[in-house]
Structure 1
Amino acid sequence: MELRHFRYFVALAEELHFARAAERLNIAPPTLTVQIQEIERTLSARLFARTKRSVALTPAGEIFLAEARNVLDQYARAESVGRRAGRGEIGRVEIGYVGSAAYAGVLQEQTRRFREAWPDVHLGARECPMGELPGLVADGHIDIGFVRLPMALPRALKRHVLLRDRFCLALPATHGVAGETQPLRAGLLAGEAFIAPEQRAGTYEVARRGRFEPRIVSSPGSLLAVLTQVSLGTGISVIPGVVRDIVQMPNVVFRPIAGEPIPSEVAAIFRTAESAPAVRMLIRQIASSPAMDH
């Protein structure tokens, strides 16, 4: 039995008149008669009691009417869901992020705006190791990643910068230069023990400027773990400047780096050839967002 059979049956059950039901369905009355007979043969049941003057539902027809209406309602719901999914109004988007993207606020801003516009799209979000995020996005395990540049990306991915930041120094409060009021010159840091965050570009640029090889003694992962190591006096760290406005930790002070700012940008990365409508909706929102300066 096909969906049209349910429509024909419900129309006749509601009109109880072959000519009116046929007109409602935009088919000829004889065609409707044949279709109803096919339904009854398929079910091996009489659904209508017919005379020359009247049409009435049989007890079997009344029971079948309730189920037929359920079928049509379920089909209408499924059709609506399919159309909305095709427009990106419902679905699921998996987000991966590095901690500094959350500290910067760009992750929260993008998800807030998207949820307000598309409340029926589920956003999943989890912190991921920064080095793994490009591969996770390229392979489809994550739909959109929030990372800290600079970073090499596979050809299949694009990026959009959301925040322009700069690196600064985090030092133990007891460090010999912690009390300096002027930006610290890179050359003063030769021989220091460095705690390396996931994004090491700032560390290596400071070493290049100071003409020394950085002595990295620890790479604990998240920025919170990095600052904890600094607070314990294990070493110093070159970290994104946005962190100093967010995280306050005992025995840690932040100082600017002398010379040209060392840029560090927060960006969203995503697949160039994205097929999922809901993901494309979020990508369009991100791509239309101008980069903020910190």
Structure 2
Amino acid sequence: MELRHLRYFVVLAEELHFTRAAERLNISPPTLTVQIQEIERTLAAQLLVRTKRSVMLTSAGKVFFSEAQRVLEQFSRAENAGRRAGRGELGRIEIGYVGSAPYTGVLQDQMNRFARKHPGVYLNAREFPMENLPQLIVDGEVDVGFVRLPMKLPPLLSYHVLARDRFCLAMPTDTFDAATETNLVHPQQINDASFIMPEQQFGTFQVASRGNFTPRIVSAPGSLLAVLTQVSIGNGIAVCPGAVRIIVNLPGVVFRDIAGEPIVSEVAAVFRASEAAPAVRNIITQIQDTPAISYCLGKIE
């Protein structure tokens, strides 16, 4: 028995008239008769009582009618879901991010906009160590990752920059030198400081290069919040993205600008260059259509 047999029977059960049912189905009445007979032979049950003037459902016919309707409705839902999934309107996307990415707001912006447009797609966001994210994307465990550049990416991956800001210094409020009490620090002033190293090491080594010193790293606790906590308890200073100073108000921490040309910190979305999943392709398109935001990038003397 095929799906068409169920459709033929349901239409006939609704019309209880072979000619009208055949017209709805765009087939001839004799063809409909043959199809109904095939169903009854397959089920070994009489589904209809026919007279010259009427067609009635038997008790078996009423049961079969009800179940056939359910099957056709379920098939219609499955067909619709398949089409929507093919357009990327249904599914699940795994989002990975490093701890500093949410501070710029680009992660939240991308997820919120996509969720409003594609409510049938579930976005599952989790924080990962930055060094692990590229390979997780290659392996398919994560679909899109939000990271801090620069970082080395496998050739199978592409990226799009969503935000640019400048690195700044996070310093303990009760231990920084009087020379830094203005909002400006020259790299040479901190050549003997203890450094707390965040996941993105680029900023720290750039500051050290400008100050012509090798940073004395005393801790590398992982996430940006862990780094700032170490700063707040006086264990050292940290070079961190400037966006955190707008959001973070952690007791014991002050933020200071680094003199000179900005050391740029970028947040980018990383994804597979050849993506097959329609839903993931949709969010990648949204990301690529989003221009990068830039702020606080002027030279400071």
Common fold by TM > 0.5: yes
Q: Deviations over 1:127-184 (max 9, x none)?
A: 1111111111111101111111111111111111111111011111222146432522
Percent identical among aligned pairs is 66
Distance 1:134 1:69 in 2: 48
- Deviation, 1:126, is 0.7
Is 1:57 aligned to residue 57 of structure 2? yes
Matching of residue 219 in structure 1 with residue 211 in structure 2: no
Q: Specify the alignment match of 2:299 in structure 1.
A: none
How many angstroms apart in 2 are the aligned matches of 1:275 and 1:65? Answer: 41
The answer for the alignment partner of 2:196 in structure 1 is 195
Distance 1:18 1:254 in 2: 83
Query: Which residue identity does 1:266 align to in structure 2?
Result: V
Secondary structure of the equivalent of 1:146?
strand
1:51 Cα offset (Å): 2.4
Q: Distance in 2 between matches of 1:63 and 1:169?
A: 75
* Cα root mean square deviation, aligned: 1.3
With over 3 angstroms needed to count, the CA separation of the structure-2 counterparts of 1:178 and 1:267, relative to structure 1, is farther
Of residues 137-146 and 51-60 in structure 1, the stretch that sits farther from structure 2 once superposed is 51-60
- Aligned partner of 1:15 in structure 2 is 15
> Which shifted more, 186-195 or 128-137?
186-195
Alpha-carbon separation, structure 2, partners of 1:82 and 1:146: 29
Question: What is the deviation of 1:243?
Answer: 0.7
- Structure 1 runs (4+) greater than 4 angstroms displaced: none
SS of 1:235's equivalent? coil
Letter paired with 1:288: D
Task: Give the C-alpha shift of residue 38 in structure 1.
Answer: 1.0
Cα distance in 2 for partners of 1:182, 1:223 equals 21
Corresponding residue of 1:40: 40
State the 1:19 CA deviation: 2.1
Q: Do the aligned partners of 1:89 and 1:278 also contact (CA within 8 Å) in 2?
A: yes
1:27-84 alpha-carbon deviations (Å, 9 max, x no partner): 2222211111111011110001122332211111111111111111111111111111
Distance of aligned partners of 1:235 and 1:251 in 2 relative to their CA distance in 1, 3 Å threshold: same
Cα distance in structure 2, aligned partners of 1:253 and 1:16: 82
Aligned to 2:69: 69
Query: 1:281 maps to which residue?
Result: 282
Q: Write the distance in 2 (CA, Å) between the matches of 1:52 and 1:109.
A: 68
Alignment deviations for residues 201-250 of structure 1 (CA, whole Å, 9 cap, x no partner): 00111111122221111000111111111111111111101111111122
1:259 is aligned to 260
**Which residues of 2 match residues 62-211 of structure 1 at below 5 A?**
62-173=62-173, 174-177=175-178, 179-181=180-182, 183-211=184-212
Residue aligned with 2:5, SS: helix
Residues matched between the structures, number = 294
1:245-280 deviation digits (Å, cap 9, x = unpaired) = 111122211111112100000111111111111111
**Separation of aligned partners in 2, 1:21 and 1:147:** 61
Q: Distance in 1 between matches of 2:109 and 2:215?
A: 35
Distance 1:52 1:227 in 2: 88
Give the Cα separation in 1 of the matches to 2:53 and 2:125.
66
What's the secondary structure of 2:243's corresponding residue?
A: helix
TM-score (ref. length: structure 2)? 0.94
In structure 2, how many angstroms separate the alpha carbons of the residues matched to 1:15 and 1:232?
Answer: 80
Normalized against structure 1, the TM-score is what? 0.96
5+ unaligned residues in a row in structure 1: which ranges? none
Q: Which residue of 1 aligns with 2:251?
A: 250
- Distance, in Å, in 2 between the alignment partners of 1:110 and 1:213 is 38
